Structure formats: structure tokens, C-alpha cells
Amino acid sequence: MANQKLPRRERERLRQRQEMLATALDLFSQKGYHNVSMQEIAAQAEFATGTLYKFFQNKEDLYKALVLEQCDKFEEAITRAIEKPEDEVEKLRNYIRVKGDRFRRNLPFVRLFLAESRGVSFNIKAGLNDELRKRYYDFLEKIASIFDSGMKNRRFKEIADPYYLAVALDSVLDASLLLWLDAPERFPYPEDPDTILNIFFKGLIPS
């Protein structure tokens, strides 16, 4: 990996940064942004308070770095998942599988966002700042392009704007995962991607 080529000093710094971010994620997700102090993060991560400020300009900055990094990983994973297969339906299935996987594996991160928003059923993307919002829109574009290509192929009917379909699919997926998180017994994890896809594939009204 590229990291190995970095000078030792640089690698050490990166490792420390990761340590800090991981601790912060842990604490933020347990207590919420405003109920975690910088001293608490520093203590838990076993650094001095001042050291935190060598890596991040301020608390907000630390928070942003944390979120952006998680989103990076997330985006990367999804992008890889929809690059491989040719088949549009398979791409969508992969997307659902990978998003679900990451969701399950990053519950602290998910909780960080959800605490507030679930009450009225807003989902993860709510409240993202401009940077994140732009990235989310770009990400939706990738999903939309699957629908687009499917429509061009005549594999999909043109029932709505592809971008709009992407939004719909993503939000339904979010909602499913949140339900599962909230009450796993009542709402089982959608193991089979088709559970979700079918909502879009099988029209509800008999023709």
C-alpha cells in the first residue's frame, strides 16, 4: 500500500490521527456531539488535549474529518460494488448488499446521525452540510446512471426520472435498515436484495 512508502514519521502521525478519529466516533455515537468534550476524547484516546489540536483545528473540524472519512470509505465501497457486473439488476443488488453490509459494520457511525432524525423519519442524509450534500448528490448520480443505462437497454421501463428512482431506492433502503436497527425482531434484516427491489419492479396495481 501507498502508506508503507511514507516516511516513518508520517505513518506514525496517520496512525495517531486514526486513533483519535476512532475514539471520537465511539464517543460521539454514544453521547452525541455536544455531550462529548475534547478532554474526554483526548483522555480516552490517551493523548494530551493539546495534541488533539495539533491534528484538528477545533472540535467542529474533528467532527467534519470524522464524517468525511466515513463517507469516503462508504462511497468507495459502493462505487467498487457497482463497477464490476455488467447487468444493471445485478449492480443494484450489489449496491443494496454493500450498503447494508457497511451499515451493519458501522453502527456507531450510523447512530451518530440517527439519534435525532428518526423521530420523524428523516434519514441519514438529513442535515449534511454543503460538502456532504454535494457528495451525496454525486453518489446518487451513480445509482441513477444504472437506472439510465437499464432504460436505454430496455431492461427497465421509463416510469420515472432515473435520478428520482435512485433517490427513491436509496431512501427505501435507508428506511429498511433503520427499521431493522430499531426493532430487529419485528423488522428482519433484508438479507435478500430483491425484497427491496421488488417494490420497484413489481407494479402494485394489477394491469
Provide the binding-site residues for a second copy, judged by CB under 8 A: 28-35, 63, 67, 71, 111-129, 132-133, 136, 154-157, 159-160, 164-165, 167-168, 170-172, 174-176, 178-179, 182, 187, 195, 198-206
CA dihedral for 67, 73, 76, 81, sign (positive or negative) = negative
CB of 157 to DNA, least distance (A): 52
| Residue 21 contacts DNA per CB under 7 A | no
> Residue 48 binds which one of a second copy, DNA, none, with CB within 5 to 8 A depending on kind?
DNA
Query: Does residue 7 interact with DNA by CB under 7 A?
Result: no
Q: Is the dihedral of CA 34, 112, 53, 47 positive or negative?
A: positive
Q: Which of 49, 79, 195, 198 binds DNA (CB under 7 A)?
A: 49
C-alpha cell at 9: 514519521
Instruction: Determine if 121 is a binding residue for DNA (CB under 7 A).
Output: no
Written as one string, the DSSP assignment of 59-81 is HHHHHHHHHHHHHHHHHHHHHHH
Please tell me the distance from the alpha carbon of residue 142 to that of residue 46, in angstroms, as a whole number: 40
Name which of 1 and 120 has its Cβ closer to a second copy: 120
Q: Applying CB under 7 A, what is the total number of residues that bind DNA?
A: 20
- The answer to whether 77 and 102 are in contact (CB under 8 A) is yes
CA distance 16 to 37: 19
Q: Which residues bind DNA (CB under 7 A)?
A: 12-13, 16, 34-40, 47-51, 53-54, 58-60
